[in-house]
Chain A
Amino acid sequence: MAFGDWARCATLTCFVLASVSAAAEAQGVTVLQPPDPATVSVPDLSIAPKSQDDRSYDVYFYFYRANTTYGEAFADLDVCRIYSLSARLVLLPPKFVPLGVGIAGLDSNIRTPNLYLQYGLIGSLIGGIIIENAQDDLVLATDRRCMAYKGYRRFGTSRAIWKLIDSGTDTDRLARLARLASGPQPQAEALDP
């Protein structure tokens, strides 16, 4: 789906999810379906954080937005997950982007710079290691930024609670996060995006 087809969707979430989904599928990324929220259990977040927990809030966190349904939160989390998977560091501009007025279902031609020619063998090895190490951090940062743009606030949690949220498949994780994002307002203070 691309520009012209967006008008056929009834809601904004539909616009974005459908277009992002079509591109994701062209790149081999599976779009997730929300399970029945009645089957999704979430950990107890009322446990008081320990003094050292806030050091890890860059990694262990969940989101909340007022007046949001479970379905909306799951869709937003999935769009942001797909965006996170698509983001890469140190790319050249592509030559072709399938942005058009009709059905696309294609991906663009992502291009990486020739580190070897530019920086030599040692430089390319060092650069490759740096890029590789930063990629996981980029996924987290992209998720945070995407959800912040969508109006969600971020709340820190402990590693132990996060492990409960994060267990199982991507669908399991997103379902728990969607329950939290659409559930009761957290008592804790929101963090910076």
Chain B
Amino acid sequence: MNIAETHAAQVFLAHHDFVKGVALKYAPWPGLMEDITQQVFLEFMAKESKWDLSSDARPLLATMTRHIAMRLWRERTRQQPEVVQKLADHIRLLAEERETPPRYEDEVRVLRSCLQKLPQKSRELVELYYYDDVGTPQIAEQIQMKADTVCRALSRVREKLRECIQQSMNQGGHAHA
């Protein structure tokens, strides 16, 4: 890897959370954000010599991400049954029409400290579901509760984290879950 390529990789890394935010807006499909980010990374590096990296890379990355997001979105949703496709289209429209710009970049930084503030049980649930990849039916089995109860619990945890992030960003201070 030469110096220019290393520099391009560093530029991308400095903006990877921004890319994720754009990906979420244009392709709100579970799991697709990482694939989009990865593809943007590959295509950005492939054409590295074309970019003027002395200026703000965000407009370029936003355009690339949008194109790739829409391409992967089409590929992914095309494989789904018609009812799911309709639902997916509806959700994409909702996401795209939201007035607020992608906030992922700022929020993900605050999220880590909010996670530390969660009660023990909630943190365990996050670890089990998000880090150990245990599905809700299996968690329900493990803790001998209904699957719906686990869904509600996860929903509450996410809401709690959202409140914490909001509070922290509004105050510009420490996060409190």
A interacts with B: no
- Please list the residues of chain A having a beta carbon within 8 angstroms of any beta carbon in chain B: none
